[in-house]
Structure 1
Amino acid sequence: MADRHNRDIDRPLAPAPKPLPVPTVDAHAHLEIVTDAAPDSAEVKQVLDDAKAAGVDRVVQVGYSAEQSKWCVAAAEHFNDRVLAAVALHPNEAPVVPDLEADLKIIEELASHPRVRAIGETGLDYFRTPPELRKRQQDSFKWHIELAKKTKKALVIHDRDSHDDVLSILLEVGAPEKTVFHCFSGGVDMAKLCIDRGYILSFAGTLTFKNAPELRDAVKLVPHDQLLVETDSPFLSPMPNRGALNTPAQIANIVRAMAEERNESVGALAQSLSDNAERIFGSFAAGSTL
């Protein structure tokens, strides 16, 4: 998993964008990779402050391992009016951890925390997982689906080179009421199918890449109540800053690109995305519960 999550600290930080006219939410970020710092650190606070200055005043901090999921919960506890947590084993993590049962037990315990509002990111990734390990990955995905349903929390799906099997498993096991496709990577046909099934599609900076016309076609189709926006920080900085270190502040650039594709006002779209995030993940306010 280290190959995916070790960031290049020498990458330049993406420049601060023009602020949004209405505050909204980054539905998926990895602040611990952005900062390489403790969950209650000044470095994390600075990233959140920079995001707020750009009109992004709330962040969903997403887990990918047992230990890092603990970091997510600690960050959500400390920044308890602007960070919520998701916890899970990433699909690349699940097949290779030394003791899968022990790690899943940690995730199950963390899932009951009031600041944990989603189970994720889980799912399938056939880009990095060889065929002989995919059964273990699929079993982990099914386990996380059941945990999301048991806790009545959103499911956050990582889907890379595995569309058919992800969709098949969701039908086989039964999707949770709130099922989010993180960094949606399908085209129009998959978007239509997901929309019909009531899934939520979250778009990242990939929407702005020149080689992703299918994403721009797909985002035009998504009903307002099934749409989210995310950075997947520190990855996937939107154009014109592709390759720079991504942070939640870059939501402002992604929302503007999304609004242009959907022929909507930036302010109205930002408000709709904010409302969706609060409906799916619950209130970010201190002391709130799902």
Structure 2
Amino acid sequence: MSKSDKRREPPPVPERLPTPIVDAHTHLDACGASTAADVREIVDRAESAGVDRVVTVADDIGSARWVVDASTWDDRVFAAVALHPTRAKDFGASERETLERLAPDPRVVAVGETGLDYYWDYSPPRPQQEAFRWHIDLAKRVDKPLMIHDRDAHADILRILEEEGPPSTVVFHCFSGDAEFARECVRAGYVLSFAGTATFRNANAKGLREAARLVPAEQMLVETDAPFLTPHPFRGRPNEAYCANYTLRDLAELREVTPEELAAATNRTAEHVFRLSRTSSE
């Protein structure tokens, strides 16, 4: 098999975790799911690795409608709805009305992903910040967690949260800060969700791994952000919800606890944050 073929091959499904966990942020539609059968296939594979529930997250209005529908196809699937900050320049009355209609749905467990992204230039900072403020208000009105996308925007994210007053629960999806920023978020009571980036071994990941080591378990989640950010040692290959297993095991080693201990702790956090019921697909 050539190197390019290897990079297109999904990682093997790992041994099942001793305690089940929640993939706190994935994109089932971007992973290729379009039907109920597709969704079941992905979550069956995840459950075989000990990832027994997933939160599938929207990044545009079409996706928001889809994730709410998908969450009704399988009891192991929950939804989060918002408009991604890179699309904020197109955030008008119609988009707001749609999200206001979808957010109260009982299968929607968070308003997200919203926030700020200064890495890409798809949308200028001003409409991003206006959209972020609107989503903060929506999360408070429907009394659901706010799921934040923060890329190269730490200071403005914290400033706007303070100015608007944060919802009761704030989740930093795919946390990307260093230990100092993590401590600041922890002091504010925010929840930090770690993706495959926290398992990377390059120099840029050093501060992130320090952050993942110090966050209290009751403020920690594990996610995939699939199909992106596949964890070490499979970086660059296709990601899927079952790969949260690899991230959990890597972070347990980093934190010097057993996978069972960290799995149980992050599962409790996910159930508390997203108010998840213990359901079964059987």
Which TM class, normalised by the smaller chain length?
A: over 0.9
Partner of residue 116, structure 2 = 124
Tell me the distance in 2 between the aligned counterparts of 1:286 and 1:266.
23
CA-CA distance at 1:18 after TM superposition: 2.0
Deviation by residue 1:22-80 (Cα, 9 ceiling, x = unmatched): 11100000010112x3242x22211111100000000001111111011110111111x
CA-CA distance at 1:239 after TM superposition: 0.8
Tell me the distance in 2 between the aligned counterparts of 1:286 and 1:76.
12
> What SS class does the counterpart of residue 116 from structure 2 fall into?
strand
Partner of residue 47, structure 1 = 42
Letter paired with 1:249: Y
**Matching of residues 51-62 of structure 1 within 5 Å:** 51-62=46-57
Partner of residue 151, structure 1 = 142
CA-CA distance at 1:129 after TM superposition: 2.6
Contact 1:119 1:153 in 2 (8 A): yes
Contact 1:84 1:284 in 2 (8 A): no
Contact 1:58 1:284 in 2 (8 A): no
Partner of residue 91, structure 1 = 85
Q: Which runs of 5+ in 2 are unaligned?
A: 1-6
Deviation by residue 1:173-228 (Cα, 9 ceiling, x = unmatched): 01111100000000011001000000000000001111201111111111111000
Matched residue count? 272
**Matching of residues 127-276 of structure 1 within 5 Å:** 127-129=119-121, 133-211=124-202, 212-276=205-269
Tell me the distance in 2 between the aligned counterparts of 1:182 and 1:169.
17
Give the TM-score, by structure 2 length: 0.93
Tell me the distance in 2 between the aligned counterparts of 1:223 and 1:146.
27
> What SS class does the counterpart of residue 27 from structure 1 fall into?
strand
Tell me the distance in 2 between the aligned counterparts of 1:70 and 1:33.
14
Contact 1:118 1:154 in 2 (8 A): yes
Tell me the distance in 1 between the aligned counterparts of 2:237 and 2:262.
25
The answer to whether 1:73 aligns with 2:71 is no
Tell me the distance in 1 between the aligned counterparts of 2:269 and 2:66.
25
Percent sequence identity over matched residues? 47
Q: Which runs of 5+ in 1 are unaligned?
A: 1-9
Tell me the distance in 2 between the aligned counterparts of 1:283 and 1:224.
18
Give the TM-score, by structure 1 length: 0.91
Contact 1:200 1:228 in 2 (8 A): yes
CA-CA distance at 1:285 after TM superposition: 4.5
Tell me the distance in 1 between the aligned counterparts of 2:165 and 2:34.
37
Contact 1:39 1:74 in 2 (8 A): no
Partner of residue 7, structure 1 = none
CA-CA distance at 1:273 after TM superposition: 0.8
Letter paired with 1:177: S
Tell me the distance in 2 between the aligned counterparts of 1:190 and 1:39.
40
Tell me the distance in 1 between the aligned counterparts of 2:219 and 2:182.
11
Tell me the distance in 2 between the aligned counterparts of 1:137 and 1:11.
34
Partner of residue 6, structure 1 = none
Letter paired with 1:218: A
CA-CA distance at 1:286 after TM superposition: 5.6
> What SS class does the counterpart of residue 78 from structure 1 fall into?
coil
Letter paired with 2:85: P
Contact 1:66 1:104 in 2 (8 A): no
Contact 1:82 1:284 in 2 (8 A): no
Contact 1:27 1:229 in 2 (8 A): yes
Tell me the distance in 1 between the aligned counterparts of 2:143 and 2:35.
26
